[in-house]
């Protein structure tokens, strides 16, 4: 065998041995930590604390594409039994969308641990804001849900965003990923149909020859823009030029109030989703359940997985 071939073989062997010695134990360590409690010598709570601190193992790599305007999604949410399942559905949808930034705006005083860890694990670029609904509205029978949160999201946009498009996404709706690509090219305000799981079936702009000529909605109620919150998106540069744009604490009139404050006319509205012929977002609602009580301490003895699960729900 020629001498240079022997050298190549020897170098390759050394390389392989080094890789096995260095990389394999690290991978093994990673796998065993992601497997949760396994070794009886380490307390499950310590494992949980370590994994929450490291938070290295993301459940996704966010998609990146050059030269795409960023999409900012303002998602109001609030603590309740359905919150993490809703967040799971929503973030996993967003994982298919490139150049996305999620603004989670929670109606609560303090952070919800499970939301915080889920967001980090999701790998989706995000910020996590907290703002409470002012108590005078919270006492009302019909509450302006998600308004304080959206206002906080808009403040964040004013301070941090310069280009791109933003969209208000309720945490319990159902989104077809095509809607996100549609709204990316919004110049001022884009509009599109929202499927309703109700008698009227849809809330949509009426479009003729590529222009918005009216609105179809089960509840018009004197609104100039009878649109669903999920039925429009706004260009960031345009928004930044409207310092008075805001959302009123007025149940049922939040969308109309916001669009009026933007100073748009029906002529400015850009119909998307093939001239509003596709339904790519649905206003769904999840059945309300009682409050989460969690696992009792009695159920979760210290040396089983229950002691970990008690902390992640």
Compute the distance between CA of residue 229 and CA of residue 177 in angstroms, rounded to an integer. Answer: 17
Tokens representing residue 104 in the block: 């989670």
Question: For residues 82 and 172, which CB has a smaller minimum distance to Mn ion in the complex?
Answer: 172
Per CB under 6 A, 107 contacts ligand UGA: yes
Q: Which of residues 194-233 bind ligand UGA (CB under 6 A)?
A: 229
Per CB under 5 A, 132 contacts Mn ion: no
Compute the distance between CA of residue 22 and CA of residue 45 in angstroms, rounded to an integer. Answer: 28
Out of 44, 76, 193, 271, point to the residue binding ligand UGA (CB under 6 A).
76
Burial class of residue 91 in the structure, from the number of CB atoms within 10 Å of its CB (0-12 exposed, 13-18 middle, 19+ buried): buried
Q: Among this protein's residues, is 182 annotated catalytic?
A: no
How much of the chain is in helix, strand and coil states, percent to nearest 5?
40, 15, 45
Q: Which of residues 169-198 bind ligand UGA (CB under 6 A)?
A: 170-172
The partner in contact with residue 229, picked from Mn ion, ligand UGA, none with C-beta cut-offs of 5 to 8 angstroms by kind, is: ligand UGA
Residue 34 C-beta: closest distance to ligand UGA, Å: 30
Are 54 and 147 contacting, i.e. CB atoms less than 8 angstroms apart? no
Residue 53 C-beta: closest distance to ligand UGA, Å: 28
Compute the distance between CA of residue 231 and CA of residue 206 in angstroms, rounded to an integer. Answer: 13
Per CB under 6 A, 78 contacts ligand UGA: yes
Question: For residues 170 and 182, which CB has a smaller minimum distance to ligand UGA in the complex?
Answer: 170
Question: For residues 37 and 90, which CB has a smaller minimum distance to ligand UGA in the complex?
Answer: 90
Out of 70, 123, 125, 251, point to the residue binding ligand UGA (CB under 6 A).
251
Are 51 and 81 contacting, i.e. CB atoms less than 8 angstroms apart? no
Tokens representing residue 144 in the block: 């302006």
Tokens representing residue 5 in the block: 């071939």
Question: For residues 132 and 172, which CB has a smaller minimum distance to Mn ion in the complex?
Answer: 172
Q: Which of 86, 106, 254, 255 is catalytic?
A: 255
Out of 86, 106, 107, 170, point to the residue binding Mn ion (CB under 5 A).
170
Per CB under 5 A, 82 contacts Mn ion: no
Q: Which of residues 121-160 bind ligand UGA (CB under 6 A)?
A: 133, 143, 145-146, 149
Q: Which of 312, 215, 196, 295 is nearest to 259 (CA)?
A: 215
The partner in contact with residue 112, picked from Mn ion, ligand UGA, none with C-beta cut-offs of 5 to 8 angstroms by kind, is: none
- Sequence-separated (6 or more) residues with CB below 8 Å from residue 67: none
- The residue nearest Mn ion at its CB is 170
Element (H, E) at 85: helix 83-94
The partner in contact with residue 149, picked from Mn ion, ligand UGA, none with C-beta cut-offs of 5 to 8 angstroms by kind, is: ligand UGA
Tokens representing residue 110 in the block: 């303090």
Element (H, E) at 154: helix 147-160
Residue numbers at the binding site for Mn ion (CB under 5 A) = 170, 172
């Amino acid at each position: 065998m020629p001498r240079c071939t022997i050298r190549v073989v020897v170098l390759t062997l050394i390389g392989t041995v080094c890789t096995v010695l260095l990389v394999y134990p690290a991978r093994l360590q990673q796998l065993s930590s992601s497997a949760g409690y396994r070794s009886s010598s380490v307390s499950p709570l310590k494992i949980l604390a370590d994994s929450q601190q490291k938070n290295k193992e993301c459940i996704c790599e966010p998609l990146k594409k050059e030269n795409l305007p960023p999409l900012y999604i303002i998602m109001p949410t609030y603590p309740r039994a359905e919150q993490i399942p809703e967040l799971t559905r929503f973030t996993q949808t967003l994982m298919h969308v490139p150049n996305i930034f999620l603004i989670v705006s929670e109606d609560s005083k303090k952070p919800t641990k499970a939301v915080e860890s889920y967001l980090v694990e999701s790998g989706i670029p995000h910020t996590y804001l907290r703002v409470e609904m002012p108590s005078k509205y919270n006492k009302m029978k019909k509450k302006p849900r998600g308004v304080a949160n959206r206002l906080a999201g808009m403040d964040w946009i004013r301070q941090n965003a310069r280009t791109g498009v933003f969209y208000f996404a309720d945490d319990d709706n159902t989104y077809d990923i095509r809607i996100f690509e549609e709204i990316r090219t919004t110049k001022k305000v884009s509009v599109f149909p929202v499927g309703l799981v109700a008698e009227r079936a849809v809330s949509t702009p009426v479009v003729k020859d590529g222009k918005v000529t009216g609105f179809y909605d089960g509840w018009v109620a004197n609104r100039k823009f009878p649109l669903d919150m999920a039925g429009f998106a706004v260009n960031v540069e345009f928004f930044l030029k409207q310092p008075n744009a805001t959302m009123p604490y007025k149940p049922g009139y939040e969308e109309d109030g916001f669009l009026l404050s933007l100073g748009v006319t029906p002529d400015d509205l850009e119909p998307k989703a093939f001239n509003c012929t596709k339904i790519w977002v649905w206003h769904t609602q999840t059945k309300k359940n009682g409050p989460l009580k969690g696992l009792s301490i009695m159920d979760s003895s210290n040396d089983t997985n229950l002691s970990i699960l008690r902390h992640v729900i």
